[in-house]
Amino acid sequence: MRTIKFGIFGLRRGSTFYRNVMMNNGEIVAVCDRDTSKLEDAKKQVGEGLATYTDFDAFINHPGLEAIYLCNNFNQHAPFAIKALEKGIHVMSECASNSTMAEGVALVRAVEKSKAIYTIAENFQYMIFNREMKRVVEGGTLGKILYAEGEYNHPIDFYSAKELRALSPYANHWRNFLPRAYYITHSLAPLMFATGASPVRVTAMPVYDPAPADSVGGIVRGPDRAAIITCLNDDDSVFKVTGCAAFGAHSNSYRFCGERGQIENVRGDLNRLILRYNAWDKPEGKEEFNEYAADWNDADEEMIKQTGHDGADFFPVRAFFTAIRENRPPVFDVYFATKMTSTALLAHRSLLERGVPYDVPDFRREEDRVKYENDNLTPFVAPDDPNYIERWSHPKFFTPEEASEYERIIAQVKK
């Protein structure tokens, strides 16, 4: 197995992948982050010979660098991906491929011009229960999948300065400006992966409930708890998903309903599934009600168990490296990535308009690219910027004084 010379940009999330990369026979030769303390820590974990950079352009010019992992801010992946692709460097990008529709068009065009491979590093479809649900769906006993749900629910304690510091270490952090619909990959990718269906039309509604005014989160966090998103797909099935929701109890929940039965994971249990069939459609050897634990069924199981997100972090790196070594397109390519992201961005616009539907483009088609190539609307700029789009269903802005108060409170928390 050929060793791949690898670099990581952004070490807050990227540092969790050191061991993962090495287990997949990657050699981490360079890292880049503006925080020099993270660079020093990287040397301790990877080795003193590791090259460290604070400048991205210098980083991607590191001798022999073949591939990089983009772990920088959620809303800043596309420009750095394009720079790397133009140099023929393979790119794996975290979270969202682009933060505007125009960036999505530019990214697709850059991938098509480059000889390098691009993939999105989405991982939730690889969780043990989602892998099992994909196996059952593909096995055909449920019949055609007509409806599926994906819920990524990550509530936080708005009164916990420690928790808020861990997620949003400064007032102007991207999480404090992130529309609920934007972080869609964890809920949507498993559904697309298992069924092969792809959204063509999207609509969304907000779940409005501001954080308590006297809480730390109430200073900077937006007032929406979730975006409830409905997608009509290219095979006439329907998906219902959340972005990053914050209601009820923490859970990652998925459900697939077919013509003859359904499968879902048990809320609050990462391993167990419930598989049900109608009495008249029950397959041989199955009961109407089946509850069981999922297995990895993978030759790399022992290494998988050593990686983050309950083993799911292992798979994006393995798939990326396999695509590079075999010189073939990845499953989660730029079209998959920009389809998910377009669904998210347009779902947010639907939410702002209380459910007005939007057609989801396919950036394989030039006519769809032309429609959006100059669409730079974004919530990550100041409200007086001509490209600004509202962040939440009810406008909310925090003042410089409130930002200073947030910084003061979280600075008191021990790291």
What is the pLDDT, as a whole number, of residue 151? 96
4-123+319-326 matches 125-300+334-372 in fold: no
CATH 3.40.50.150, applies to 4-123+319-326? no
Q: Is pLDDT above 90 for 414?
A: no
> How much of the chain, in percent, has pLDDT values that exceed 90?
93
What is the pLDDT, as a whole number, of residue 121? 96
Q: Please give the structure tokens belonging to residue 124.
A: 């939730």
The predicted model gives 376-399 an average pLDDT of 95
> How much of the chain, in percent, has pLDDT values that exceed 70?
100
Q: Please give the structure tokens belonging to residue 154.
A: 């990550």
What is the pLDDT, as a whole number, of residue 415? 59
Q: Is pLDDT above 90 for 103?
A: yes
What is the pLDDT, as a whole number, of residue 179? 97
User: What are the boundaries of each domain within the chain?
Assistant: 4-123+319-326, 125-300+334-372
pLDDT in tens, 190-236: 999 999 999 999 999 999 999 999 999 999 999 999 999 999 999 99
- In whole angstroms, what is the distance from residue 162 CA to residue 291 CA? 38
Burial 373-402 (b: 16+ CB within 10 A, else e): beebbbbbeeeeeeeebbbbbeeeebeeee
pLDDT in tens, 366-384: 999 999 999 999 999 999 9
Residues 100 and 378 sit within 8 Å (Cβ to Cβ): yes
pLDDT in tens, 307-362: 888 889 999 999 999 999 999 999 999 999 999 999 999 999 999 999 999 999 99
The predicted model gives 249-268 an average pLDDT of 95
pLDDT in tens, 273-321: 999 999 999 998 889 999 999 999 999 999 999 988 888 999 999 999 9
- In whole angstroms, what is the distance from residue 362 CA to residue 186 CA? 20
Q: Is pLDDT above 90 for 95?
A: no
What is the pLDDT, as a whole number, of residue 270? 75
The predicted model gives 14-23 an average pLDDT of 92
- Fold classification of 125-300+334-372 is Dihydrodipicolinate Reductase; domain 2 (3.30.360)
Q: How far is CA 386 from the centre of its chain?
A: 27
What is the pLDDT, as a whole number, of residue 309? 86
Query: Vertex 310, ends 241 and 66: CA angle to 5°?
Result: 90
Name the nearest CA neighbour of 27 among 64, 77, 75.
Answer: 64
